Structure 1
Amino acid sequence: MMRMEEATVTDSTPTTLPPAPGADRYRCLDFADTTATLPAGQNYDLLATPGSAMRWLAAHGLTPPDVRLYEVCAQRMRTLRGHIRALFASRVEGVTPPEESLRAVNEAITAVPTAPLLAWDPARGPHRVQAHPADQAVNHALAILAADAADLLTGPDADLLTACGSTPCDRFLLRTHGRRHWCSTRCGDRARAARAYARRNRPPS
């Protein structure tokens, strides 16, 4: 569900963490991290409104910048995000993933073709075209994100998938080296400070 006419955007962009390691290779990772829990009971959701969801899709090259979304589209994005996060969490924790999340991702993958099809005309000759009409742009975007998540979970980078180790952050990332598993410098600094505080206040044995 979309409308192409101009819409009034009433939401404001929250202060967010930078993309987590691996988000440059997997858009699904950045998609999963569009919501995050921060210290002091703070959090943000980059898909909270149709306007913010529209901007996220356009910024990631998944829809044209002039597409406007209804709330039902933003809700569908948030629902798929929840299922992808559940699959990521299951992979990190080594447990059986929820059947409904597997089903939701597979339904998104098969909803529309994710690859441009081959076409031909006398003027252009062979060329690639998107098979979906404009009113299916969100379906197409969700199919790409779902397929990307499936690729991550089944590919060589699956063992690098982890959750941020700085409480209360609940973002996902790919480990880049060693044992580091913080999604940002900010979270790493907070984790190191917490460990240093715990050492200073540890009672003598």
Structure 2
Amino acid sequence: MSETDTAATAGPGLPQAPGAALHPALDLANSAIALPGGQFLDVLGTPSGATQWLVDHNPAPADAGLQEVCAARLRSLREQVRALLAAQVGGHPAPTTALAAVNDALTRVPTAAPLGWDSVRGMHRAAPHPIDRIVDQALGILAADAADLLTGPDAERMTACPSAPCNRYLLRTGRRHRCSVRCGARARATRAYARRTRTVTG
């Protein structure tokens, strides 16, 4: 994948990181973006943003209409997936809380409506609220993709973009180790500035 061959964007003018089109969990991890100048963009920062992200990645219908509690669940899973990616890239043990959160999302996907009882209806099948079902399904899909990414052949290619202040993850392709043209240009500019500074002071 080239640095410019993806139409999907992670934020204003920022393309998806390499591998994010193949792994929605990687794109989820990258949905909180550190920008130059101390700015920060959270694509999932509002219920409408979280809804649009899920719609764009197919786990939710366009009329899902997530509320803040559902958007917060998505952001929470993102932080746990980021913790697991950081552990994988850094060669550290996986945090137990992050493992538990991903496993919880994997096991919440409803396979059948549970049996319930109340004094009005008596015994009945208690279907979850439709939004809860959509969110559980979406979180399960993303958690499964995170598990596949962390245990599959792509795990060896995973890295963190080294261009400060970028906080995105990507899959290395050939010699490419940065998430975007923008980060590559910023790194080259930093190296050029450092060379000029050494020349002036040396």
Structure 1, residues 48-75: CA drift from partner, whole Å, max 9, x if none? 0101000000011110001101100010
8 Å CA contact 2:24, 2:145 repeated in 1: yes
Q: 1:71 aligns with which of 68, 82, 87?
A: 68
Q: 1:182 aligns with which of 165, 178, 181?
A: 178
Q: Which amino acid aligns with 1:175?
A: R
State the match for 1:27 in structure 2.
Answer: 24
Q: CA deviation at 1:113?
A: 5.2
8 Å CA contact 1:166, 1:188 repeated in 2: yes
- 1:114-129 aligned at under 5 Å gives the runs none
Fraction of identical pairs, as percent = 55
Q: Which amino acid aligns with 2:167?
A: D
State the match for 1:143 in structure 2.
Answer: 140
Structure 1, residues 144-186: CA drift from partner, whole Å, max 9, x if none? 00000000000001010000110010000000112x2111000
TM-score, normalised relative to structure 2: 0.82
Aligned CA RMSD, in angstroms, stands at 2.0
8 Å CA contact 2:110, 2:136 repeated in 1: no
Q: Give the match's secondary structure for 2:153.
A: coil
- For residues 41 and 20 of structure 1, what CA distance do their matches in structure 2 show? 20
- 1:1-205 aligned at under 5 Å gives the runs 15=12, 17-112=14-109, 134-135=130-131, 136-178=133-175, 180-202=176-198
- For residues 108 and 77 of structure 1, what CA distance do their matches in structure 2 show? 10
State the match for 1:117 in structure 2.
Answer: none
Residue-pair matches, total: 176
Q: Is there any run of 5+ residues in structure 2 with no aligned partner, and where?
A: 1-9, 112-126
Q: CA deviation at 1:14?
A: 6.0
Q: Is there any run of 5+ residues in structure 1 with no aligned partner, and where?
A: 1-12, 115-130
Q: Give the match's secondary structure for 2:159.
A: strand
Q: Which amino acid aligns with 2:183?
A: C
Structure 1, residues 72-126: CA drift from partner, whole Å, max 9, x if none? 0010001000000000000000011110000000010111159xxxxxxxxxxxx
Q: Which amino acid aligns with 2:155?
A: A
